[in-house]
């Protein structure tokens, strides 16, 4: 376990880490709306969630409106941009990710925590086609999203530090390798869900094996300069 796996967080790099998954969104979501409007809002979110899960984030707005049984105007009135809708739909998934990081930090065995958070996030990626897109799409405007991601990044950095300190994670593991893992895992998303999940599980198992420190491990090519924040998967272009 981590030498400072303690109740006394005096380590300077650890002090900034605090629970990141507390609340999904401010509870004012659709607060002052009329009852029918609130109902429609809920149906839109539900429809969008399903559509994104099945067909990715690029599904047309009009398809979501049709699925929800509302007109496109209603959809656009509630969510002026596509990004606004996506951000709201994936807010709780993001919170779940943050929760996974917190859980991992609470685990006395840092390597186990490291593995569990990776497994968790990757399985979410595999189960929900839109999640990968949303996670990697990096909304430039949504402060909510950005802040939560920054927190997750801080927690992950701490987790990496502890796992290295415990000697289970190879010393030349880079923070960017986590992004690498997520990108690679996003690549195995295919059309059928079962296949995707099987592929993801196997890929993660392979990569975790490589991340684990070993005496005779050779050196690696340098880590790519990618971070959770700088990452933009340009859609289409």
Partner DNA sequence: CACGATGTGGGCAGGGTCGTCCGCTTCTCC
Partner DNA sequence: GGAGAAGCGGACGACCCTGCCCACATCGTG
Per CB under 8 A, the list member of 4, 58, 141, 147 interacting with its own copies is 58
Residue 69 is a binding residue for DNA (CB under 7 A): yes
3-state secondary structure of 190: coil
Residue 135 is a binding residue for its own copies (CB under 8 A): no
User: Cβ distance 177 to 211 under 8 Å?
Assistant: yes
Binding pattern for the stretch 34-53 against DNA, x by CB under 7 A and - elsewhere:
xxxx--x-------------
Residue 71 binds which entry of its own copies, DNA, none, CB below 5-8 Å type-dependent:
DNA
Of 1-9, 27-35, 44-52, 187-195, which segment contacts its own copies by CB under 8 A?
187-195
Residues 6 or more apart from 127 whose CB is under 8 A from it? 53, 193, 196, 197
User: Cβ distance 138 to 231 under 8 Å?
Assistant: yes
Per CB under 7 A, the list member of 42, 77, 202, 233 interacting with DNA is 77
Residues 6 or more apart from 176 whose CB is under 8 A from it? 223, 224, 225, 226, 227
194-223 residues in contact with its own copies (CB under 8 A) are 195-196, 198-199, 201-203, 205-207, 209-211, 217-218, 220-223
Residue 188 binds which entry of its own copies, DNA, none, CB below 5-8 Å type-dependent:
its own copies
Taking alpha carbons only, the member of 90, 73, 64 closest to residue 37 is 73
Count of residues making up the chain: 237
């Amino acid at each position: 376990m981590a030498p400072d796996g303690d109740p006394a967080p005096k380590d300077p790099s650890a002090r900034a880490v605090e629970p990141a998954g507390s609340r999904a969104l401010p509870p004012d979501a659709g607060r002052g709306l009329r009852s029918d409007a609130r109902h429609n809002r809920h149906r839109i979110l539900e429809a969008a969630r399903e559509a994104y899960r099945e067909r990715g984030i690029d599904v047309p707005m009009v398809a979501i409106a049709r699925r929800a049984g509302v007109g496109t105007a209603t959809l656009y009135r509630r969510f002026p941009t596509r990004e606004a809708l996506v951000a709201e739909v994936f807010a709780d998934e993001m919170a779940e990710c943050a929760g996974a990081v917190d859980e991992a930090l609470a685990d006395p065995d840092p390597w186990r925590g490291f593995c569990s958070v990776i497994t968790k996030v990757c399985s979410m990626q595999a189960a929900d086609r839109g999640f990968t897109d949303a996670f990697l799409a990096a909304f430039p405007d949504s402060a909510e999203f950005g802040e939560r991601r920054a927190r997750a990044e801080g927690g992950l950095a701490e987790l990496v530090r502890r796992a290295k300190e415990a000697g289970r994670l190879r010393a030349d593991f880079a923070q960017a390798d986590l992004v690498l893992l997520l990108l690679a895992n996003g690549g195995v998303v295919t059309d059928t869900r079962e296949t995707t999940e099987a592929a993801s599980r196997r890929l993660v198992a392979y990569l975790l094996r490589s991340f684990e420190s070993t005496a005779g491990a050779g050196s690696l090519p340098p880590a790519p300069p990618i971070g959770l924040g700088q990452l933009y998967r340009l859609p289409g272009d």
